[in-house]
Amino acid sequence: MKKKGVTRMRWRIRKAQLNWKKNRTRRVARWRVALLCFDSFAFVLCIVLFANFPERTKTVSVSITIDEPTLMVKEVRAEEQETSQEKNSSIEEFDVETISNSQVNIIGEKVESAEVSQIEEAQIMESETEKESVFETEETQTEEVIIEELIAEHTICNSKSSANRNTNMAVAAQIINEATGGADGYILEPEEKFSWLEVVGNTTEEKGFEKAPVIKNRKTVQDLGGGVCQVSSAINSAIQQTEQQTDREHFYAQKHSLKSSYIKKERGDKEATVSFDSKVDFWFISTLEYPIRIQVFTDGGSVTVKIFKREIIPN
């Protein structure tokens, strides 16, 4: 009986020890969980506080020039952000020492060094000048010089020309002069074709043509564009003064069906009839070895055509 009592006592002591260790383990686990929660809360709190911490930043944009012997800042715009609010301040003039601890922008470039000396500014200005000079040099190199020489000129005058007829000649001259993009004449390159019907086209009211005497079916009638044949004839007369070939392959001009009073063979007038309705064209393909510029002038009943030889010289 005594042995059983001792065994029972030992079992109770052992059970008490196990219960104490079990409770101790639970308490330790609870404390660890509490500490872990506290650490997590503290970490989150630090992040929130750091994110909402008021920023103090300053951005200064400076435009500076060299004014010997002191480097002065002529225009300054300062922007300061403090406690989520922007404050703008303007400083009219200060020296290098004032901006020695600031972030400075000079002529759109960020200077990593806070110290800006007169020598560094002079180097920047010199480099900008070199860039501009290089750009100007490249631009100058791409330019071309055009030299022109008058190689032919012819005038056909009609003292009996009416006002509407004079208007038609002026309109046709303007169309030709502006046909290649400018207002100073028609540019024709070697082996290119000049066609009256393609350049001037139909003599319509929308273009500004008016009714004047024209020759149709060997009769003189009133129709839009009367008188433009004097312009085509003046161009024909001038182009034949050059080395232009007049063979059928490179040249075509048709005479009037009736005798025209303004055509004078003794002064070298060459006829060139044109008619959009009858598809009668005056054309030629340049056989000259150089580009030419054909310019047409009108003055009342007078038409003058000048042809210039163009020489393009790279600069």
Is the confidence at residue 286, as pLDDT, over 70? Answer: yes
Across 11-18, average pLDDT: 79
pLDDT value at position 5? 67
d(CA 293, CA 186): 5
Residue with the bigger pLDDT between 198 and 75: it is: 198
d(CA 16, CA 22): 10
Residue 257 contacts by C-beta under 8 Å, 6 or more apart in sequence? 215, 218, 273
d(CA 29, CA 22): 11
Find out whether 293 and 307 touch, Cβ atoms under 8 Å.
Answer: yes
Across 183-194, average pLDDT: 96
223-237: burial string, b at 16+ Cβ within 10 Å, e else = bbbbbbbbbbbbbbb
d(CA 166, CA 285): 28
pLDDT, averaged across the chain: 78
pLDDT value at position 74? 41
pLDDT value at position 169? 98
Token match 């580009």: residue?
291
| Per-residue CA distances from 43 to 21, 39, 108, 268 (Å) | 33, 6, 42, 105
d(CA 315, CA 298): 35
> Structure tokens of 74?
């002529």
Find out whether 105 and 111 touch, Cβ atoms under 8 Å.
Answer: yes
Q: State pTM to two decimals.
A: 0.57
Burial of 64 (0-12, 13-18, 19+ CB in 10 A): buried
